[in-house]
Chain A
Amino acid sequence: MSMNILRLSWKNILNKPLNLILNLVLFSLGVGLISLLLLVNVQLEEKFEKNFAGIDLVIGAKGSPLQLILSSLYHLDAPTGNMPVAEAKAFLNPKHPIFKAAIPLSLGDSHKGYRIVGTNAGFINLYQAEFEAGEVFMETMEVVVGATVAKNLGMEPGDTFKSSHGLIEDENLVHEDAAPFKVVGILKKTGSVIDQLLITKTQSIWAVHEEHDHEEEEHEEHNHEGEEHAHDSAATEEEMPLAFYEDQQITSLLVQFRGRNIQALNMARNINENTNFQAATPAIEINRLYTLLGVGEEALKALAMLIIFVSGLSIFISLFSSLRERKYELAVMRTLGAKPGFLFQLIIFEGVILAVLGFIFGIALSHGSMIFLADFLEKSYRYDFTAALFLKEEAYLFGGSLVIGIIAAIIPAFQASKTDIHATLADNKA
């Protein structure tokens, strides 16, 4: 049992449990808040960026451009409206001079809270998703399932289900009369939004709504493409290009440019000015979103910094006031042979131990709350968040914590090392 300095510092800290608790609560709150902000922010930005998926432009019904981006690219929020295929025909031309790809999306249905996307196989390629099992859909009503959906709903190729109308889970809105979907493929996890989606052919969405439209009119408010198209056309032959379905509707188009030239850059303005549609650039809209979120983030960061500063001050004050109580025992330790450097280190270690413990509790706090937050964020942002991610910024945060512990302790430590044995012990007599 060695009585080294670190152990003595530790005993001294334990001897003042209320000070210990106050210092740890403050320090860990500050560190925890910063760490949590970093965790959410880094993962959110990473997911947002991953989900750009090389899309240059999103075209959809007029409305909020941010809403269009959120609904079509991130699968948050509701779609802005529908695009009649007849009017969007030009964009669907595979030989389009500016568009390398224009991938159609039909949104509005879901299964147990997971969104169903009517599109084509190009959508899966956008996210570079690979197949865990099965293969891509070939026929109408075949569906490919994202990794998270498959895991959470326990889906396997061959399973069947009936879709629900709208984007929220509601048993009353199941398309009971429509043909069931059949799972033909399961995707590997990509870390992007496709993990949370069920992907099928555009024609499947149309098929579901054609068959039951006549009795589901009361759900009109759910903003659904194809809803108004209660026609009995049997023209859903699989081989026909989408542009031939002139009387159908889609929700939006994800566009990749052939090249970033002036024509491409003018495309968005042209669409906005000359058509009934709007074109939104993901990068611009997401930056706008960052700016909006950034204000709150900055405020939280400032608050966290303030808490850390106050906790540094609190460590300083508790060390300083403990010196006054301990001045005789420090002087006696000097008479026993302790050098000034011993007392200096003793107090510095006390500050450092408090800071390191505060850091550890803070990180535990942030990663612990991340576990609970991840669940919520996955539902509201449709992304998998993890609490098991450790960032290099957290290493900096550790360095910063050490520095704060040392700074808070340095004046008390210096004072302790200057203890005047004679004056202190002579003064005590009376």
Chain B
Amino acid sequence: MLSTINLSYQYAGAAAISFPDFTAEQGDHWLILGPSGSGKTTLLHLLGGLLSPTVGRVQLDHFNYSTISPAKLDKFRGENIGIVFQKAHAVQSLSVLENLLLTQQLGGKSLDKQKIMNLLERLQMGHKANQKPNRLSAGEQQRVAIARAVINQPRIILADEPTSALDDKNCEEVLRLLKESAETVKAILLVVTHDNRLKAAFHKQLLLK
């Protein structure tokens, strides 16, 4: 169970952004919508432990990870949270397979090549395992990003505009894979977007103002 309590963040020299309290149960898929400047990315970074709130807290199963030390937070994030960004930003010098091995290592998991290959097959990326990221199309890169977000079986999967760089066909495909992958590992999925194409796919929606 992921919950936010009285969460707000204040950038230097700007008014504080307050976020409504909400709770996501294990396995829930949420869509967080809002116009530009409504703090969507800020909320996602607060949830992902990339940013610490000015006020309030974020809890995973009643464990408040908003105030733990940076070193503990790095570890917590590696183990419990998977994030898909608008672009994959995979390590350019490593192949798809090596990127995922690195993800396992950084997440403190044992290196399991077979597990990675199975996941890549499910994402129809098995034949690209030894390619460098810059040889992949935008849709393929997002599949790598999804693989990277789910390989360590995190409790929470966060996606920040995962489809806004994709055409309709790829958008649909990536969304489907994202939801499937989240279901497979029974993670909470939170997708932040202003992409209206995604609205129909989520029952649970949070609208930021």
List A residues at the B interface (Cβ < 8 Å).
Answer: 1-4, 8, 11-12, 14-15, 325-326, 328-329, 331-339, 342, 421-422, 425-426, 428-429
Q: A3-B94, A332-B90 are in contact. List 4 more A-B contacts (CB 8 A).
A: A3-B98, A335-B81, A338-B106, A426-B41
Chain A: minimal CB distance from B58 (Å)? 14
A-B contact count (CB 8 A): 88
Partner of A331 from B42, B89, B94, B105 at Cβ < 8 Å: B89
SS of A interface (majority): helix
CB contact between A335 and one of B41, B77, B87, B108 (< 8 Å): that residue: B77
Contact A329 B103 (CB under 8 A): no
23 contacts between A and B (CB under 8 A): A1-B111, A2-B111, A3-B105, A8-B102, A11-B94, A14-B93, A329-B89, A329-B90, A329-B91, A333-B91, A334-B74, A336-B77, A336-B78, A336-B148, A337-B74, A337-B79, A337-B106, A337-B107, A425-B50, A426-B42, A428-B85, A428-B89, A429-B41
Interchain CB contact (< 8 A) of A1 among B77, B113, B148: B113
Query: With A1-B113, A337-B75, A337-B108 as given contacts, are A15 and B85 in contact (CB-CB < 8 Å)?
Result: no
Specify which chain B residues have a CB less than 8 angstroms from the CB of A342 in the assembled complex.
106
* Cα distance A200–B71 in the bound complex, in angstroms: 82
Distance in Å: Cβ of B190 to nearest Cβ of chain A: 15
Q: Is the CB of B42 within 8 A of A2?
A: no
Q: A336 to B107: give the CA distance in the assembly, Å.
A: 6
Nearest CB of chain B from residue A5's CB, rounded to whole Å: 10
The answer to whether B48 touches A335, judged by C-beta atoms less than 8 angstroms apart, is yes
Categorize the interface residue count of chain B: 35 or more
The A-contacting residues of B in range 50-102, CB under 8 angstroms, are 50-51, 71, 74-75, 77-79, 81, 83, 85-87, 89-94, 98, 101-102
**B160 contacts A by Cβ under 8 Å:** yes
Q: Does B45 contact A (CB under 8 A)?
A: yes
Interchain CB contact under 8 A, A8 and B41: no
Residues in A whose Cβ lies below 8 Å from that of B81: 335
A328 surroundings in chain B (CB, below 8 A): 87, 89
Whole-angstrom CA separation of A335 from B102 in the bound complex: 12
Q: Are B93 and A11 in contact (CB under 8 A)?
A: yes
- A338 adjacent to B74 (CB under 8 Å): yes
Contacting residues, chain A, for B48 (C-beta < 8 A): 335
> Which of A3, A12, A335, A429 is in CB contact (< 8 Å) with B50?
A335
Known: A11-B93, A334-B74. A2 touches B85 (CB 8 A): no
Q: Which residues of A contact B91 (CB under 8 A)?
A: 8, 11, 329, 333
Cα A334 to Cα B51 with chains together (Å): 12
CB distance from B60 to the nearest CB of A (A): 15
> How far is A335 from B89 in the complex, measured between Cα atoms in Å?
12
Q: A346–B33 Cα gap in the complex (Å)? A: 38
Q: Which 5 A-B pairs have the closest CB atoms?
A: A337-B78, A15-B93, A328-B89, A11-B93, A337-B106
Cα–Cα distance between A136 and B100 once the two chains are bound (Å): 78
State whether A428 and B50 are in contact (beta carbons under 8 Å apart), knowing that A333-B106, A337-B106 are contacts in the complex.
no
A215 nearest CB across to chain B (Å): 79
Cα–Cα distance between A426 and B50 once the two chains are bound (Å)? 10
Closest Cβ–Cβ distance, residue A416 to chain B (whole Å): 13
Which B residues are CB-close (under 8 A) to A336? 77-78, 102-103, 106-107, 148
CA distance A391 to B105 in the complex (A): 42
Given the contacts A3-B98, A429-B161, A15 and B92 also touching, CB distance less than 8 Å: yes
Evaluate contact between A428 and B108: CB separation under 8 angstroms: no
Q: Are A425 and B106 in contact (CB under 8 A)?
A: no
**A342–B160 Cα gap in the complex (Å)?**
25
**CB nearest to A338 among chain B residues:** B106
Q: Given the complex of chains A and B, what is the CA–CA distance between A334 and B85 in angstroms?
A: 13
Cα(A328)–Cα(B160), bound, Å: 14
Instruction: Report whether B74 and A1 are in contact in the complex, using a CB–CB cutoff of 8 Å.
Output: no
CA gap between A325 and B74 in the complex, in Å: 23
Closest B residue to A15 by beta carbon equals B93
- Bound complex: CA of A67 vs CA of B81, how far in Å? 82
Residues of chain A with a CB closer than 8 A to B161's CB = 429
The reply to whether B45 and A3 form a contact with Cβ atoms under 8 Å apart is no
Known: A14-B93, A338-B106. A332 touches B111 (CB 8 A): no
Q: Which residues of A contact B77 (CB under 8 A)?
A: 335-337
Residues in chain B near residue A425, CB distance under 8 A: 41, 45, 50, 85, 160
Shortest Cβ distance from residue A16 to the other chain B in the assembled complex, whole angstroms: 8
Q: How far is the CA of A422 from the CA of B50 in the complex (A)?
A: 6
B209 to chain A, nearest CB (A): 19
CB closest residue in chain B, given A332: B89
Q: Cβ of A429 and Cβ of B89 under 8 Å apart?
A: no
Q: Are A426 and B78 in contact (CB under 8 A)?
A: no
The CA of A331 and the CA of B77, in the complex, are separated in Å by 13
B:108-152 near A, CB below 8 Å: 108, 111, 113, 148
The answer to whether A426 and B105 have CB atoms under 8 Å apart is no
Instruction: Enumerate chain B residues within 8 angstroms of A329, measured Cβ to Cβ.
Output: 89-92
Distance in angstroms from A333 CB to nearest chain B CB is 7
